Amino acid sequence: MNRIWTLVSTEARIELRERYALSGILLYVLSASFIVFSIWRQLPPKEWGLTFWVIFLFCSLMAVLKTFGKESEGRYFYYYTLYHPLELFIAKALYNMVLLLFIFLMLWFVLSIMAGNQIIRVDWFMITGLMACTGLSFLLTLITSIAIKTQQNASLTSVMALPLMIPLLINLLRLTAYSLGTTPDDNPWNEFMMLSGIISLVVGLSMWLFPYLWRS
């Protein structure tokens, strides 16, 4: 656990030192939501939720894409001898999760300035966001680790990850509809259980498969 924490904090320190990475994501979120908002002009609750998750999806792809990219070959080798692949994976996924949470909050903030905060049940939206970040970060980290082994990793990551994200996205939209109050359904637990089932599937499978895929 301690070792994982060291890895996460190293990762974060490197990221913070290179300012442009974080500010790049921030700019991406800003410009994406600006473009979408300038097309829509006004966002009714339902569209607000849709827009939110679409922008979030692409931002998260952007952010996670360079997880394994920025390291040189030498550092891989160093990591490989020093840490168990599972530790490495959990550290990367946790770091990405924090990153996605940051994007989530930022996007929420930006969209509520631009289009007003349509969320009625804030607590549920926070839970939805937390779940989305967990699921997406594990999924994307695994897919990037596969894509990094191929020749064109950037385009392949999105090609491989986008269809796999859809089962997650569908359930996220359902839960979001509850926190937006656009559904007559008054019981979110069904969707919650479904979503947590899928997320635990993603987390479990990716933790099982990563050490196998990482060998080379």
Partner 1 sequence: MKDNTSIKFFGLALWKWFSMLILIYVFIAGWLIPLNPGIIKVAPESIKAGESVVLEVTGYNSSFVSDTAQVRAWLRLTGDTVIKAQHVQVWDNRRLTASFYIPSVFPMRQEAYPLTLILDHDTDGTSVLPNAVFATPAENQNPAEMALWFSDKVEHVHVKSGIQFPFRNILSETIRNTYFHVPMWFTMILLFAVSAWFSLQYYRNGQIVYDQKSVALIRVGILFGILGLVTGMLWAKNTWNAYWSWDVKQNMSAIALLIYAALMVMRSSVEDQMQKARLTAGYNIFAFALLIPLLFIIPRMTDSLHPGNGGNPALGGEDLDNTMRMVFYPAVIGFILLGLWISQLVYRTEKLK
DSSP for residue 148: T
The letter for the amino acid at 212 is Y
Q: Which of 129, 136, 111 is nearest to 52 (CA)?
A: 111
In the complex, what is the shortest distance from the CB of residue 175 to partner 1, in angstroms, rounded to a whole number? 13
Q: What share of the chain is helix, strand, coil (3-state, %, to 5)?
A: 85, 0, 15
When asked if residue 187 is in the footprint of partner 1 (CB under 8 A), the reply is no
Place of tokens 């939720």: 49
41: left (phi over 0), alpha (psi -120 to 50) or beta: left
Which of 163, 184, 187, 189 is in the footprint of partner 1 by CB under 8 A?
Answer: 163
Q: How far apart are CA 166 and CA 110, in angstroms?
A: 24
The residues in 133-152 that bind partner 1, with binding defined as CB under 8 A, are 142, 146-147, 149-152
Q: Which stretch binds partner 1 (CB under 8 A): 36-44, 67-75, 76-84, 196-204?
A: 196-204
54 binds partner 1 (CB under 8 A): no
Q: Does 82 bind partner 1 (CB under 8 A)?
A: no
Would you count residue 189 as binding partner 1 (CB under 8 A)? no
Binding site for partner 1 (CB under 8 A): 142, 146-147, 149-152, 156, 159-160, 162-164, 166-167, 170-171, 194, 197-198, 201-202, 205-206, 209, 212-213, 215-216
